[in-house]
């Protein structure tokens, strides 16, 4: 009995620890600056959308939003396609060659972005791709390949071999086997990995910071950082920026919870 109450207390305590900071952010974003300084921690007297309005009027928020969306969607879609193809080739080319290719990609799992940031930065500058969203997408694709190939190979290995053999006997080529058997069977895995990658790319700070320099090309996390310079300790403005940047992900999460959580599980187990 005592244990049950202890458990309930723990859940309650943790709910407060999680919710309190999130709620205070939401509250603060609806306060005007004088309201905020008069009572920084209280509930807002009335819902004022003032901060959101001035954020969208003072900043090219729509452009930032579009930048983030473009980079994220392009990276996730291409990553699934490219890594899916690599994983398929690994699965189909036998133990020796497949194992060798797999090992080459798996080695990359050891190298964190922080180790690569300096050489990637200088390579991109040499190639003249600085401040290009295309450059950022290509770099993100390459950096995420080891993890994506690793996860997808794991899933593809568990597919029943007989299905592919039956397809081969019926005369299907590699593209048909891939497109009509492997991809549909792996669809739920692709969805989980897509959710997992979406979070990573949407939230990434390091590579956008290294590669994007012009104000017109910023992604949302970078834009947030630049707001700090402009709205020095103007918390209501800063935090409404946080809400705007987080909202799309939270909405996606509410509808696609299962995929997000499976993706995080797969990422942890395979990564």
Smallest distance, Å, CB 126 to another protein?
Answer: 10
Q: How far is the CB of 102 from another protein (least distance, A)?
A: 11
Total binding residues toward another protein, as defined by CB under 8 A: 90
CB of 58 to another protein, least distance (A): 17
To another protein, the closest distance from the beta carbon of 186 in angstroms equals: 14
DSSP letter, residue 180 = I
Residue from the set 108, 130, 159, 183 that interacts with another protein by CB under 8 A: 108
Binding-residue pattern over the window 120 to 159 for another protein, x denoting contact by CB under 8 A: xxxx--------------xx-xxx-xx--x----x-----
Q: Does the protein bind another protein through residue 10 (CB under 8 A)?
A: yes
Q: What angle do CA 27, 32, 34 make, to 5 degrees?
A: 115
In the set 53, 157, 176, 228, which binds another protein (CB under 8 A)?
Answer: 228
Shortest gap between Cβ of 138 and another protein (angstroms)?
6
Encoded tokens for 7: 């458990």
Residue 25 as a binder of another protein (CB under 8 A): the answer is yes
Nearer to another protein, 63 or 261 (CB): 261
């Amino acid at each position: 009995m005592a244990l049950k109450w202890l458990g309930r207390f723990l859940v309650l305590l943790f709910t407060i620890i999680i919710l309190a900071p999130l709620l205070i952010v939401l509250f603060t974003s609806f306060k005007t600056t004088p309201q905020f300084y008069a009572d920084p921690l209280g509930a807002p007297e009335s819902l004022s959308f003032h901060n959101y309005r001035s954020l969208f009027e003072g900043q090219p928020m729509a452009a930032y939003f579009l930048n983030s969306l473009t980079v994220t969607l392009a990276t996730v879609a291409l990553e699934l396609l490219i890594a899916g193809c690599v994983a398929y080739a690994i699965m189909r080319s036998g133990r020796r060659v497949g194992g060798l290719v797999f090992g080459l990609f798996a080695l990359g799992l050891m190298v964190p972005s922080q180790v690569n940031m300096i050489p990637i930065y200088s390579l991109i500058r040499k190639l003249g791709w600085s401040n290009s969203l295309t450059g950022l997408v290509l770099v993100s694709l390459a950096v995420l390949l080891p993890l994506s190939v690793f996860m997808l190979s794991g899933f593809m290995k568990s597919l029943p071999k007989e299905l592919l053999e039956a397809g081969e006997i019926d005369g299907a080529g590699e593209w048909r086997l891939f497109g009509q058997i492997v991809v549909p069977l792996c669809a739920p895995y692709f969805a989980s990995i897509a959710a997992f990658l979406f979070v990573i790319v949407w939230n990434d700070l390091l590579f956008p910071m290294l590669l994007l320099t012009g104000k017109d090309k910023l992604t949302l996390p970078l834009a947030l950082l630049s707001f700090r310079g402009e709205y020095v300790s103007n918390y209501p403005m800063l935090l409404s920026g946080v809400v705007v940047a987080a909202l799309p992900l939270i909405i996606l999460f509410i509808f696609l919870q299962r995929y997000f959580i499976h993706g995080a599980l797969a990422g942890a187990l395979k990564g």
